[in-house]
Amino acid sequence: MWFRNWRDSRINLYYTLGVMQVFSHISTIASFFEGFGELSVSYYYLVYSSLFLSLVALPIGYALLCHKMNRSMIPKPPTVPFFCIFGTVGGFLLVSALSPSIVTLLVIPLFVFAPISLIGSLVYLFRCRPLTSYHVAAVWGCVLTLILPFLIHFLVED
C-alpha cells in the first residue's frame, strides 16, 4: 500500500528504490560474513565504515574543500584534480566494502581509468601557474593515491 502513495513523485520513488537496493546489498554482505563467527564483528565495522566513508564522508569533504578554495579566491582552483583524488579513494573504499558481490567487477575499470585520470591531473598541475598550497597538496595527493595501492599490496604480501 505504501507504494501507491509514493507513485506520484518519481524522484521519491527512484530515491526509495535506490536506498532499498543499497540496503539489500548491505544485508547480502552481512549475511555472507555471518558464517565467520567471531571475525564477523570486525568485518561488519570494516564494511560499514568503508561504505560511510565512500558514500558520505568523502563527498562532504570534497564539497567543503571546494567551498574553501572558492572562498580563498585562488586563481585556477584545482577542483578537477581533487575530484580525481577523492573519486579514486572513494571508489577503492566502495569496491572493498562490496567485495563479495558482483560489484567487484568494477575494480577493472577503476584500476584502468583511475591512474590515467591521476596522471592527467599531475600533468595539468605541473603546467598550472601560479602554484598555491592547494595545488601542491593536489600534487602530493595524486602521487600518494597512485603509489598507495602498490604500497598496501607489498605490505600485505610480506
Summarised one tens digit per residue, pLDDT across range 80-138 is 999 999 998 888 888 877 776 666 676 778 888 888 999 999 999 988 888 899 999 99
pLDDT at position 158 is 52
65 vs 32, higher pLDDT: 65
pTM of the model: 0.69
Residue 90 burial (CB count, 10 A):
19
Provide the total of helices (H) and of strands (E) in the chain, helices listed first. 7, 0
* pLDDT higher than threshold 90 for residue 44: no
Residues 6+ apart with CB under 8 A from 58: 86, 89, 90, 93
pLDDT tens, position by position, 4-13: 444 444 444 4
Domain borders along the chain are: 45-157
